[in-house]
């Protein structure tokens, strides 16, 4: 038996960088339709290497096999506001089972602050040490709840962390609902919109728990 948990934020007009406007109404046009406008890195989304000029690879050119795989859920809620996450936050019992091409989801509880200034300005973030560790261990995907893996108010930091990870790790930002997971090991599926030449894209992200 499998349980499927949605880790994706709802896109609303409260989100900076997103708007939904009525385009057609059934009474007048025969159907309902909307015009959607996205900033490519709002809500639950994924980054492509071209986002920080790591390579020319765009979101539509990333192999679809890189969007699916086993993921370990790491509870780092103790890190807190503006804290740094290190590799030693990963429990030894998980490290013993970790294999190349596994993915990591970091549970910070940060999605509770969506649409507040704290969500963007005080986020817990990935340390340089952890970013290098992920690259060395060939982590497939790294998923975080904040809107970025690094401090978006510190250009030097946000550039360095993205440039390290995007050399080989798929970045997923803006996750939510991690507390609904009952297991620390899941099948992670993160599918970005296939945008030609895209530096990033909104994504529907789910976790499958197998029993």
Contact 158, 164 (CB under 8 A): no
162 is catalytic: no
Active-site choice (45, 51, 89, 162): 51
Tokens of 200: 């990033």
Residue 104 Cα distances to 22, 87, 124, 185, angstroms: 38, 11, 15, 9
Q: What is the DSSP letter of 210?
A: E
Contact 205, 8 (CB under 8 A): yes
> Measured between alpha carbons, how far is 98 from 83 in angstroms, rounded to an integer?
24
- The three-point CA angle 5-9-13 to 5° equals 155
Residue positions annotated with a catalytic role: 51
């Amino acid at each position: 038996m499998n349980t499927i948990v949605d880790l994706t934020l709802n896109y609303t007009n409260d989100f900076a960088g997103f708007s939904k406007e009525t385009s057609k109404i059934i009474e007048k046009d025969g159907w309902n339709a909307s015009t959607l406008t996205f900033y490519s890195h709002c809500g639950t989304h994924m980054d492509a290497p071209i986002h920080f000029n790591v390579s020319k690879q765009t979101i539509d050119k990333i192999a679809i096999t890189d969007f699916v795989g086993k993921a370990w859920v790491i509870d780092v809620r103790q890190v807190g506001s503006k804290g740094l996450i290190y590799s030693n936050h990963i429990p030894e019992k998980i490290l013993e089972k970790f294999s190349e091409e596994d993915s990591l989801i970091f549970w910070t509880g940060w999605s509770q602050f969506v649409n507040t200034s704290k969500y963007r300005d005080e986020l817990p973030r990935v340390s340089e040490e952890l970013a290098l560790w992920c690259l060395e261990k060939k982590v497939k995907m790294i998923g975080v709840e904040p809107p970025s893996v690094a401090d978006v108010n510190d250009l030097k930091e946000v550039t360095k962390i993205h440039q390290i990870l995007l050399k080989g790790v798929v970045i997923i930002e803006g996750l939510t609902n991690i507390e609904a997971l009952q297991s620390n090991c899941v099948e992670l599926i993160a599918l970005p919109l296939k945008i030609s030449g895209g530096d990033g894209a909104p994504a529907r992200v789910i976790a499958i728990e197998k029993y």
